[in-house]
Amino acid sequence: MDVTPDPGDRTDGGTGGPFADLARFVALPRIGGLALSADGTRLAVSVQTLDPQRKKWQSALWEVDPAGVRPARRLTRSAPGESSPTWAPDGSLLFASARPDPGSAEDADPKPALWSLPAGGGEARLVLTRPGGISGVRVAWGTGDVVVAAATLPGGSAAEADEERRKNRAEAGVSAVLHEDYPIRYWDHDLGPAAPHLFWAGPLPADEPGTAPVELRDLTPAAVPPHGSGEEFSLSPDGRLLARTEDVPDGPAGRRSRIVLTSTSDGDTRPLVDDPLADISAARFSPDGTALVCVRERLSTYAEPPDYTLLLVDVAEGSTRDLTAGFDRWPSAPQFSADGSAVYFLADEDGRHAVFRVPVDGGTPVRLTADGAYSDLQVARDGSALYALRSAYDSPAVPVRLDPQAPLQDPPVLPNPGTPDRLPGTLTEVQATAADGSRVQSWLVLPEGACAQNPAPLVLWIHGGPLMSWNSWSWRWCPWVLAARGYAVLLPNPALSQGFGQEFVRRGWGEWGGAPYTDLMAAVDAAERRPDIDGSRTAAMGGSFGGYLANWIATQTDRFRAIVTHASLWDLDSFTGTTDAAYYWEKEWGDPLRDPERYEQNSPHRFADAIRTPMLVVHGDKDYRVPIGEALRLWYDLRKRGVPSKFLYFPDENHWVLTPGNSQVWYSTVLAFLGEHVLGEQWQRPELV
């Protein structure tokens, strides 16, 4: 069985390696979805590679040695792929896959189902299915009880009845959805008529002849809106309690979330943490099941941005205690240590996404990692180690092992299915000083050979969010593709970026065209003073909020030779009314009819007459977060003013560009546009568009 990717996809040979060849770049393996077995002896990761036709990414499960001795080995192979690995206490590996049931005579397109790979190896077996597919699974590590999430149509949750209702809609040619509440869509899909339900399956039976099918018990209230119970849930170690995030109304057209607790034996449900001024999420049980830790996000207002903290919750009483009071960062993804004496969590800090540890009896959080961005944190049950995926701008995600106590670690990388051997340049951290004296941190990618005698053209790349920061590797926004063509890439964290304190966010709240813009200009000024940067050849680009700022830059200055704006906000009033969660943005911007000031001051479309810079507009029609109308309006405004511009349109992509072919077109079009306007090359239309 092979343990490494195709050698042709490695980064050896040729300047720039696969980053200079888009076909090879999209073929590089991509690691995600780390899961640790209950006994701590096995790690599973999900690895995406191109399918044989090179038209889509396939996901397979691999095993990684927690001790870092054995090479990684592939566990699964199927055309639909496998994802969401979860270990059962008996050592079997559960996963989701749309692979066909080998025992079924039907030739229908199967939905994602729950499969199990035996601990000793062999063929995976189908464990359970639902007519709408399985979208999530949790296992109680103490007992092996299983709960799954599955979309279910209104009218009862029995599988046969749900299947019949789906069949009736299909045969009648009905795709309509009747909504009675807001919202109606999310990211790239319509909500309803099916809603997510949670089903208790108990411990899964052994794979033996004559084993009865798994019977599911619905743990979801009878009337669930399409955005109802959600799919964020956690099981207590003994399997008796289920904690889930539930959406509830917040005003006539708003939503907020709370934590509810359900007994898996009888379905009895009660609110556990319900705060009318906050969203509550990410609940995880303590090892003894008597406590929960969760994230409290204070709801934003016109005057104040959100703020985050961790709550320690007594399961029996529902009382809460703030674990991170006074901690000027935003904690996420909490979970208990093996003995329950501490909580580990993740938080952005200074351009990193770090692991922290805080004692449950109080104290200052201790940062356990130095550089890098961490995800998928796993706690060994014996307390000996932590495991996580680590990435950074100089490394895609790789599995690592951490000491549970040591601060500011640089953890060892475990053998894995392959990462690039070499990058086409170097990464450095740079600083700038904003107009108000604030420090602006950035990452600067320099191409090979950049020096005072051969300064590199500069691309300012602006992050989305806006409440995030540049801190981790991205396949969608990969600066090394540009570096392989000789560009330096500046990745700044301006006002509104998280990880630099609440006041840094507050500087840009409701004033996106203010400090976020001037911070970016300060960062570019500092970069252009470097002798290895050619300040006369610069461009700007960004997506989502970064696209908003790219548009804003176009209306405020002509210092850049070209601007690329992806999935961008153009008319803030129009955007706020048509995005998938308008109530969220109105908290910051206000009602445009009653409080128009922020819209008038910060909407780029109001300053369209000032644009002189050539612009490339990019948008996907399935983008419901920033609807396509924003790009259509921007495109028309540019064309009627005679601004040199192009529009790269993806009818079937969402907020991102997710298919290999379209990803290559995205990069090749951006590079051709930059080549024309920054490097003075003749425009080369990408071949397939």
Q: What confidence tens digit (pLDDT) does each residue in 551-598 have? A: 999 999 999 999 999 999 999 999 999 999 999 999 999 999 999 999
Tell me the pairing of strands 456-462 and 439-447. unpaired
Percentage of the chain surpassing pLDDT 70?
94
How far apart, in whole angstroms, are the C-alpha atoms of residue 583 and residue 654?
A: 21
Q: Vertex 263, ends 298 and 139: CA angle to 5°? A: 85
Main-chain phi, psi angles of 498, to 5 degrees:
-90, 160
Cα separation, 285 vs 293, whole angstroms: 7
Alpha-carbon distance values, 605 to 266, 388, 434, 546 (Å): 56, 43, 26, 15
Amino acid identity for residue 34 in this structure: L
What is the C-alpha separation between 262 and 484, in angstroms, rounded?
A: 53
Q: Which of 47-61, 329-343, 527-541 has the lowest mean pLDDT?
A: 47-61
- Residue 43's alpha-carbon distances to 46, 386, 533, in angstroms, are 10, 12, 44
State the average pLDDT over residues 15-21.
Answer: 86
Residue 319: name the closest of 273, 269, 258, 261 by CA.
273
Give the burial class of 610: count Cβ atoms within 10 A of its Cβ; 0-12 exposed, 13-18 middle, 19 or more buried.
Answer: middle
Structure tokens that stand for 405 in this block: 């106590």
For residue 357, is pLDDT > 50? Answer: yes
Of all residues in the chain, what percent are helix, strand and coil, respectively (each to 5)? Answer: 15, 35, 50
Q: Check pLDDT > 60 for residue 228.
A: no
Q: Is 366 helix (H, G, I), strand (E, B) or coil?
A: strand
Q: For the chain, how far is it from start to end, CA to CA, in angstroms?
A: 39
Q: For residue 53, count other CB atoms closer than 10 A to its CB.
A: 7
CB 315 within 8 A of CB 289: yes
Per-residue pLDDT of 375-392, as tens digits, reads 999 999 999 999 999 999
What is the C-alpha radius of gyration for the chain, rounded to an integer number of angstroms? 25
Tokens at 15, concatenated: 């300047």
Taking the C-alpha atoms of residue 30 and residue 164, their distance in angstroms, rounded to an integer, is 39
Q: What's the confidence (pLDDT) of residue 110?
A: 83
Please tell me the predicted confidence (pLDDT) of residue 175: 95
Residue-range domain boundaries for the chain: 425-677
Q: How far apart are CA 160 and CA 141, in angstroms?
A: 30
Query: By the 8 A CB rule, do 388 and 376 touch?
Result: yes
pLDDT 10s digits, 607-661: 999 999 999 999 999 999 999 999 999 999 999 999 999 999 999 999 999 999 9
Nearest to 334 by CA among 299, 365, 300, 371: 365
Find how far residue 391's CA is from the centre of its chain: 13
Q: What's the token pair of residue 591?
A: 């009602």
**Cα separation, 578 vs 644, whole angstroms:** 28
What is the predicted pLDDT for the residue at 149? 94
Picking from 14-18, 35-39, 439-443, 545-549, which range would have the lowest pLDDT averaged per residue? 14-18
Residue 293 CA to its chain's centroid (Å): 22
User: Alpha-carbon dihedral of residues 581, 587, 589, 595, nearest 10 degrees?
Assistant: 120
For residue range 476-530, what is the model confidence (pLDDT) as tens digits?
999 999 999 999 999 999 999 999 999 999 999 999 999 999 999 999 999 999 9
Given pLDDT bands bounded at 50, 70 and 90, which one contains residue 214?
confident
**Residues β-bridged to residue 444:** 428, 490
Residues 389-415 have a mean pLDDT of 96
Please report which helix (H) or strand (E) contains residue 615, including its range: strand 615-620
Half-sphere exposure (Cβ direction) of 534: Cα atoms closer than 13 Å: 18
The CA–CA distances, whole Å, from 210 to 205, 207, 296 equal 11, 9, 47
Q: Is omega for the bond preceding 306 within 30 degrees of 0, making it cis?
A: no
Q: Could you tell me the fold of the domain covering 425-677?
A: Rossmann fold (3.40.50)
**What is the model's pLDDT at position 230?**
60
Closest of 265, 211, 210, 212 to residue 239, by C-alpha: 265
Mean pLDDT of the chain: 93
E strands, 250-304, in order: 255-263, 269-273, 278-285, 291-298
What ranges make up the beta strands (E) of 368-487?
373-379, 386-392, 395-402, 425-433, 439-447, 456-462
pLDDT at 10 exceeding the cut of 50: no
The answer to whether residue 8 scores a pLDDT higher than 60 is no
Task: State the virtual CA torsion across 73, 76, 82, 85 in degrees, nearest 10.
Answer: -60
CB 285 within 8 Å of CB 308: no
For residue 480, CA distances in Å to 47, 51, 320, 577, 670 come to: 21, 24, 46, 37, 14
pLDDT above 70: residue 107: no
523 and 549 Cβ atoms separated by less than 8 Å: no
3-state secondary structure of 315: coil
Task: Tell me the mean pLDDT in the region 597-611.
Answer: 98
**C-beta neighbour count of 582 within 10 angstroms:** 16
pLDDT in tens, 155-188: 888 999 999 999 999 999 999 999 999 999 999 9
For residues 372 and 388, is the Cβ–Cβ distance under 8 A?
Answer: no
Cβ atoms of residues 234 and 182 within 8 Å: no
Give pLDDT tens digits for 303-327. 999 999 999 999 999 999 999 999 9
Residues 6+ apart with CB under 8 A from 449: 486
Q: Which two tokens stand for residue 32?
A: 């995600």
| Single-letter amino acid code for the residue at 97 | S
Identify the band that residue 104 occupies on the pLDDT scale cut at 50, 70 and 90: low
Q: What is the pLDDT of residue 101?
A: 73
Percent of the chain at pLDDT exceeding 90: 89
pLDDT(14) > 60: no
